[in-house]
Amino acid sequence: MPKRVRTAVFPVAGLGTRFLPATKAMPKEMLTVVDRPLIQYAVDEAREAGIEHLVFVTGRNKGVIEDHFDRQFELETTLESRGKHEALAELRKELPSAGHTSFTRQQEPLGLGHAVWCARDIVGDSPFALLLPDMIFKASPGVLKQMMDAYEEHGGNVIGVEECDPKDVASYGIIERGEGPDKGFEITGMVEKPKVGEAPTNLFISGRYILQPEVFGLLSQQTRGAGGEIQITDAMHTLMKQQRFTGVKYDGKVFDCGSKLGFLTANVVFALDRDDIRDGFVKELRALDLSEQIEG
């Protein structure tokens, strides 16, 4: 049995420049898909997969994320006195247990690998999950949960992957696929943001990882990769020489909410999937009769 994964790291230090001015004072991770902030989707997915300790790597202007995962006494008292018991129960259910959140800061924007490295002391010598909150999924069970099944079987490191349009490979980390079934195959190579035509496959790393702590030693070498940044993909690529990496082509679909198109699409898809919203939303959309804009 491989060592249990109890801790998840959420890098939330990014500036969110693609969403300005919305993200001038507000963290991009607090942008909402329907009525939940992006970060909440990633945290829910981690908890569904059995994660207990949530580690946030934050930066300046991100204090509201800390508030989001704390109690809000004034709000709770008001909901209580107004008899809004359902909303109150929902808030309480989502609150992480006391002592199960940690916050550290990435002081300089040196890349995703550097952000992860900033969590090394908190994570310690244990395997951990890494979830990029820009990426949210329509998947049941959740993607990290599906990956945990592969982890139990193979141990080592596990990466969630999905197929992308071959012309989009330059936006992502791309893996090379070896032997084994979709739900647990060996990864034989990986490259960060390859040029179109130079990628080994169109299987991209969609923001969910289970990693062994040895990755921190490699990240501490601070080697710069694509875009002049310290890349987690490069550290994993080196770690592959010593440890197994398993790919999971999960059941489900990612929405890249770091892009406006992905974010807007996610809002429509997630709204249509909500029992309390779907019928009203469909009615509004029909009344607008958008067919000309969509078809024309």
Stretch of 21-29, 99-107, 157-165, 205-213 lying at the interface with ligand G1P (CB under 6 A): 205-213
Stretch of 75-83, 129-137, 155-163, 261-269 lying at the interface with ligand G1P (CB under 6 A): 129-137
192 binds ligand G1P (CB under 6 A): yes
- Nearer to ligand G1P (CB atom), residue 78 or residue 223: 223
Q: How far is the CB of 251 from ligand G1P (least distance, A)?
A: 19
- Interface residue with ligand G1P among 207, 219, 236, 255 (CB under 6 A) is 207
Instruction: Sort 252 into a burial class: Cβ within 10 Å, 0-12 / 13-18 / 19+.
Output: middle
Stretch of 58-66, 130-138, 143-151, 162-170 lying at the interface with ligand G1P (CB under 6 A): 130-138
Which parts of 62-121 interact with ligand G1P (CB under 6 A)? 112
- Nearer to ligand G1P (CB atom), residue 40 or residue 233: 233
Alpha helices in the chain (DSSP H): 38-48, 63-68, 73-81, 85-94, 112-117, 120-123, 143-154, 214-219, 232-239, 260-272, 278-288, 291-295
Which parts of 20-39 interact with ligand G1P (CB under 6 A)? none
For strand 101-105 and strand 53-58, is the pairing parallel, antiparallel, or unpaired? Answer: parallel
Stretch of 25-33, 62-70, 82-90, 131-139 lying at the interface with ligand G1P (CB under 6 A): 131-139
- Nearer to ligand G1P (CB atom), residue 93 or residue 195: 195
135 binds ligand G1P (CB under 6 A): yes
- Nearer to ligand G1P (CB atom), residue 33 or residue 132: 132
204 binds ligand G1P (CB under 6 A): yes
Q: What is the 3-class SS of 1-66, one letter each residue? A: CCCCCCEEEEECCCCCHHHCCCCCCCCHHHCEECCEEHHHHHHHHHHHCCCCEEEEEECCCCHHHH
DSSP 8-state secondary structure symbol assigned to residue 119: T
Q: Which of these, 70, 131, 73, lies nearest to 101 by C-alpha position?
A: 70
- Can you tell me the distance from the alpha carbon of 162 to that of 256, in angstroms, rounded to the nearest whole number? 12
Q: Which residues contact 97 (CB under 8 A, 6 or more apart)?
A: 52
Letters for 231-270 (x = contact with ligand G1P by CB under 6 A, - = none) are: xxx------------------------x------------
162 binds ligand G1P (CB under 6 A): no
DSSP 8-state secondary structure symbol assigned to residue 156: S
- Nearer to ligand G1P (CB atom), residue 151 or residue 204: 204
> Do residues 193 and 170 touch, judged by C-beta distance below 8 A?
yes
Residue indicated by tokens 């959309």: 285
Binding site for ligand G1P (CB under 6 A): 112, 132, 134-135, 172-173, 192, 204-207, 231-233, 258
